[in-house]
Amino acid sequence: MSKRDYYDLLGVPKDADSSALKSAYRKLAMKYHPDRNPGDKDAEKNFKDISEAYEILSNSEKRQAYDAYGHDAFQNSGGGGFSEGFSGFGNFSDIFEDFFGDLGGRSQQRQPQRGQDLKYEIDVDLREAYIGIKKDISFDTLVGCETCNGSGSEKGSGLKTCAACGGSGRTRASQGFFTVERTCSNCGGAGQMITDPCSSCGGEGRRRKQRKLEVNIPAGVEEGSRIRLSGEGAVGPNGSEAGDLYLFVSIVDHPLFERDGTEIFCSVPISIVEASLGGSVEVPTVSGGRAKVKIPPGSQNGDQFRLSGKGMPTLRSTSFGDMIITLMVEIPKNLSENQKRLLKEFNEESTQNNNPESSGFFSKVKQFWDDLT
């Protein structure tokens, strides 16, 4: 079932400004919030849908991507390059809290903030994609602070209970008919505060660093393949869970081979003598081996031959595709006088049987002109 248009979900036009988006979301969020509709699965789904729509459209970069590519812009989808902050949708309840706090009066502390997902674009040549390979990459990311072991506190110092929320991570306030509970702005929902921040990381528990990592590229990867490395992204603050690293594969063009899925294509030039009399030619395979191809007499330019199992491996399988050899009959250049004489003699002795395609074509041309008269 296809997803509804985000603008339709919020009931706003495509040129709606941030104020109109916020107003539309506020109204719908109040209507469908699960705490106001306990046990109503439809309301819960509507709340998630409108929260997702607002999360995308309220972000200028994500909105631009959505306007250009629609929902495809956020599907889990490629030399080498790195970008930070590659992630899906945010926490819908956090979006709602930005407007209303927590209407349900829930008192649990906010979960530790997970680190960002990272994206790295990696170049792989065809040979590497065939055999699979381990490659070393280097990228800038956030790692745990070695000075404080990720705690964010100077050695010997501890944590104190937040005075604003009493350690609960939440604060309450009355607004009309509702008692609104919000994440404590003083401690960020942690319930505790660092008394003496680490001098190396400023209390974050993490530092920016160039990191080196060996990654495994499996045999059979294709252009645009995405490889997820769990927990290899940026470390979260104060020792919380790291995000994931996503490798986006780009296959480098090969001078001999072209690829289409698991099939490999190779164009092989032959002389007009080889095409006319037949023979054999040795061709390279993507595995690094050699294969002999028999050329039958009278072969034509563009004739193809299939070598079974000589193509690319299927990802996460033991099967292989085929290799397709395409003949390119090369017309000789820079002929000597003797070569020209021999070719003229050959042409004079040629019959319709020697050139059936040409004879057939010119017979049809003659008939075409005869029909016009």
| Residue 158 confidence (pLDDT) | 73
pLDDT recorded at residue 13? 92
List all residues 6 or more positions away from 302 whose beta carbon is below 8 Å from its beta carbon: 326, 327, 328
Percent of the chain surpassing pLDDT 70:
86
From first to last of its 373 residues, the chain has per-residue pLDDT tens of: 567 899 999 999 999 998 888 888 888 888 888 777 888 888 888 888 888 888 889 888 788 878 877 877 665 443 455 555 554 444 444 555 555 554 444 445 455 678 899 999 999 999 999 999 999 999 999 999 988 888 888 886 777 888 888 888 888 876 555 667 778 877 777 788 888 888 888 888 899 999 999 999 999 999 989 999 999 999 988 778 899 999 999 999 999 999 999 999 999 999 999 999 999 999 999 999 999 999 999 999 999 999 999 999 998 889 999 999 999 999 999 999 999 999 899 888 877 677 777 777 778 887 888 888 7
pTM over 0.85: no
Positive or negative torsion for Cα 4, 6, 10, 16:
negative
Tokens for 142?
């956030």
Domains of the chain: 1-75 (1.10.287.110), 97-252 (2.60.260.20), 258-372 (2.60.260.20)
- Give the largest CA-CA distance in the chain: 107
- Of the CA atoms within 13 Å of residue 206, those in its CB half-sphere come to 20
pLDDT of residue 90: 43
Per-residue confidence (pLDDT) for residue 62, from 0 to 100: 82
The CB density around residue 246, as the number of other CB atoms within 10 Å, is 22
d(CA 1, CA 43) in angstroms, rounded, equals 18
Query: How high is the pLDDT of residue 163?
Result: 85
Residue 291 has a CB neighbour count (10 Å cut-off) of: 16
Which ranges of the chain does DSSP label H, i.e. alpha helix?
A: 6-10, 18-32, 41-57, 60-69, 92-100, 126-131, 272-277, 337-349, 356-372
What's 73's DSSP letter?
G
pLDDT in tens, 199-243: 888 888 899 999 999 999 999 999 989 999 999 999 988 778 899
State which amino acid sits at residue 134.
K
- Closest C-alpha among 233, 215, 281, 286 to residue 257: 286
Concatenating the DSSP letter of every residue in 211-254 gives EEEEEEE-TT--TT-EEEETT-SPPPGGGPPP--EEEEEEEPP-
Tokens of 217: 């590229």
| pLDDT, position 1 | 56
